[in-house]
Structure 1
């Protein structure tokens, strides 16, 4: 059983993090996840030594990771990212994967599985971090937001599939066969989700939204549990099941109870972002090997190296394969947003360390580089976008009127 003080410290850090975001927001916009991980490091063994995760806390953190990937799957609107934009985003990610594994193979000294871990981590995009920024600026529904959604969706989905294929410990052909079987069942579930739901589903959803029944929320949790269990049965990583559950949930809610879908999601997000997800990030900070990073010059030097590799591996293919109707400044902003990576880097490196495919020092270097990417790259991209907008005559006139 967990020591009650550890859980109290973790939740105290989770509460303190948004307060710090608010306090520093007037000077610099620091993503919430940075404070959550940083506070975890502070209360963890390498600094104050107050918090030491055990089996119960680790289980809750695993649920937090599943909820994070579930919500990432829910965010993706596949209907908005079809056609040429989706094809370009797929090719950009495949090029990134090939380049990432190739470069990681050199860094790892020829260790194939370590190269798979590092290379896959380098190709991810923190869509859950980028989309709120675009939503707040009113750009999510515009052309740039649609393109970013496509490239970000592939940057979320691609690494999850790659983890299932490359890091399962099986032969690639066997993993591909199991993944295909999982895909067939998931496709059947998608077909079921797209069918009209009986009227009682919407009525019961609305009737229990503000009661102890909470039918829709329980249904969503059942769907998540089923997809996690299905992935487990197929021997695939649970991240794939969580992602698929998020996609299915969006389809079901928008078809069955469109009037209540946003409120149901709000309740699920409250459970995720209010408890499980911050717990996962704080525990990530607690387990972060700061000692190895500080006292190992090689690991410390790898942080800027990995950050540069993220920009090269992920950013350059995105820039080159971005839709031609975007001007060069928007393409640079797109590349920077797409190179922003943290949640999946944490997840993939955690898997790598747990399977003894990656050293804790290298994992710390990768996570450190990803934290810098979240802190710096979106700010630069936002500045580029604001510069582009101010360059237009209409926007310049609006700015003049505002002043």
Structure 2
């Protein structure tokens, strides 16, 4: 078979298998399609399918096919991260800054501390810290992976639970938005390379200057031209960040965060987001699964994944309950907010991919973080749905303060 035919066979597997499991298994309540795709990415990787059928795995996922898949995955995830930046509404965060800063700070800081403690435990054993990582980078990077909230997946889950537009849903979006900015800021600190500090400062100065030019240009353009120029801006920012050593996904996020959502029609933004999830992100999930490793043994990786899951979920819940006490929330709100904010999904996987690319974590740590992301996201709807039902029954959601 030619490389093209093998590539198309791989694409067929990527799209058919997760969809068939999701649709025929009716997993949507526990595992939405995006989670099934992430799990299948792990199953199709070298640790599961590769171990069971090594010859078949090498034939389908040969180096030429993997390079092509990685290229598609990189473009898809750049678009996804850019859209996550565009969707941030920091104006509302500023309007409710005391409440937002208090909640976001506790909901980010507490799991960060829990995650750093888990990282310190893992660091005492060989095989978890990356070859090019300083101890502080591994600790902070792993801790932040436990603190991440997946804003785009959070939106999808709240739509599924039918309270995205409710006052509590809008509050949760504000908290997650502020956390999102902090996450990428911390990532930029972790990525700082003192051998390339001149390049990195140069990129940030150039980005700041060009942002003013870009925003003035976009304000004068028509709708069609805005989309085209936005793509050029995305590629330029991603290239500049990668050249500076900050990673192209940091550039993609910066490209999106300086765009105004009202430059584009909301339904077009929503359509692009869904189309990226439909057409490109399944390839990213598969390419992510191909990077998983179990060389330290399945028991060790699952133990690390469980430890990180405990740090992530426990930290978010503790932070949300502390915020609830400080801000005097109504009964039941802290638990719902904590469970929703612990949703990891795609952003944590993207974050972990960057740490792996920069050799801050090993493939085994990456696998454990991937398991943690899947577990935390799968827990969200089954746990929140009954809690939300009880809160709605008491009329708290519609009466919650905005």
TM-score bracket, shorter-length normalisation: 0.7 to 0.9
Distance 1:144 1:312, change over 3 A: same
Aligned with 1:298 (options 297, 300, 315): 300
How many residue pairs get aligned? The number is 373
1:109-148 matches, cutoff 5 A: 109=124, 111-148=135-172
SS at match of 2:332: helix
For residues 267 and 318 of structure 1, the distance between their equivalents in structure 2, rounded to whole angstroms, comes to 32
Displacement of 1:281: 1.1
In the alignment, is the contact (CA less than 8 A) between 1:21 and 1:29 conserved in 2? no
Distance 1:388 1:318, change over 3 A: same
For residues 197 and 152 of structure 2, the distance between their equivalents in structure 1, rounded to whole angstroms, comes to 32
Displacement of 1:221: 1.4
Which TM-score applies when normalising by structure 2?
0.80
For residues 375 and 394 of structure 1, the distance between their equivalents in structure 2, rounded to whole angstroms, comes to 23
Aligned with 2:366 (options 321, 342, 363): 363
* 1:220 correspondence with 2:234: no
In the alignment, is the contact (CA less than 8 A) between 1:10 and 1:40 conserved in 2? no
* 1:324 correspondence with 2:339: no
Deviation track 1:207-241 (CA, whole Å, cap 9, x = no partner) reads xxxxxxx5443233122113213323543222222
Displacement of 1:381: 1.9
Displacement of 1:341: 0.8
Displacement of 1:116: 2.6
For residues 27 and 141 of structure 1, the distance between their equivalents in structure 2, rounded to whole angstroms, comes to 21
Q: Give the structure 1 partner of residue 257 of structure 2.
A: 247
Deviation track 1:92-148 (CA, whole Å, cap 9, x = no partner) reads 224543553344233312933321321121110111111122234442222211221
For residues 207 and 328 of structure 2, the distance between their equivalents in structure 1, rounded to whole angstroms, comes to 34
* 1:315 correspondence with 2:330: no
For residues 175 and 376 of structure 1, the distance between their equivalents in structure 2, rounded to whole angstroms, comes to 42
Aligned with 2:283 (options 263, 279, 283): 279
For residues 96 and 327 of structure 1, the distance between their equivalents in structure 2, rounded to whole angstroms, comes to 23
Q: Give the structure 2 partner of residue 23 of structure 1.
A: 24
Gaps (5+ residues) in structure 2? 125-133
For residues 31 and 151 of structure 1, the distance between their equivalents in structure 2, rounded to whole angstroms, comes to 23
In the alignment, is the contact (CA less than 8 A) between 1:31 and 1:374 conserved in 2? no
* 1:107 correspondence with 2:119: no
SS at match of 2:361: coil
Distance 1:380 1:342, change over 3 A: same
Displacement of 1:338: 0.9
For residues 167 and 196 of structure 2, the distance between their equivalents in structure 1, rounded to whole angstroms, comes to 38
Aligned with 1:164 (options 188, 192, 195): 188
Deviation track 1:158-188 (CA, whole Å, cap 9, x = no partner) reads 2222121113433898799568636734763
* 1:268 correspondence with 2:272: yes
1:40-55 matches, cutoff 5 A: 40-45=41-46, 46-47=48-49, 48=53, 49=57, 50-52=60-62, 54-55=66-67
Displacement of 1:368: 0.6
Deviation track 1:325-383 (CA, whole Å, cap 9, x = no partner) reads 53231111111111111323222322233333222222111111110111012321232
For residues 311 and 289 of structure 2, the distance between their equivalents in structure 1, rounded to whole angstroms, comes to 23
Distance 1:347 1:191, change over 3 A: same
Distance 1:305 1:191, change over 3 A: same
Name the stretch that deviates more: 231-240 or 2-11: 2-11
Q: Give the structure 1 partner of residue 356 of structure 2.
A: 353
Q: Give the structure 2 partner of residue 208 of structure 1.
A: none
In the alignment, is the contact (CA less than 8 A) between 1:179 and 1:236 conserved in 2? no
Q: Give the structure 1 partner of residue 10 of structure 2.
A: 9
For residues 63 and 34 of structure 1, the distance between their equivalents in structure 2, rounded to whole angstroms, comes to 20
For residues 330 and 349 of structure 2, the distance between their equivalents in structure 1, rounded to whole angstroms, comes to 33
SS at match of 2:194: coil
- Aligned CA RMSD, in angstroms, stands at 3.3
SS at match of 1:34: helix
Displacement of 1:284: 1.3
For residues 51 and 230 of structure 1, the distance between their equivalents in structure 2, rounded to whole angstroms, comes to 31
In the alignment, is the contact (CA less than 8 A) between 2:168 and 2:397 conserved in 1? no
For residues 331 and 393 of structure 1, the distance between their equivalents in structure 2, rounded to whole angstroms, comes to 12
Q: Give the structure 2 partner of residue 339 of structure 1.
A: 342
Q: Give the structure 2 partner of residue 188 of structure 1.
A: 212
Name the stretch that deviates more: 125-134 or 107-116: 107-116
In the alignment, is the contact (CA less than 8 A) between 1:86 and 1:151 conserved in 2? yes
SS at match of 1:122: helix
In the alignment, is the contact (CA less than 8 A) between 1:7 and 1:57 conserved in 2? no
For residues 105 and 199 of structure 2, the distance between their equivalents in structure 1, rounded to whole angstroms, comes to 22
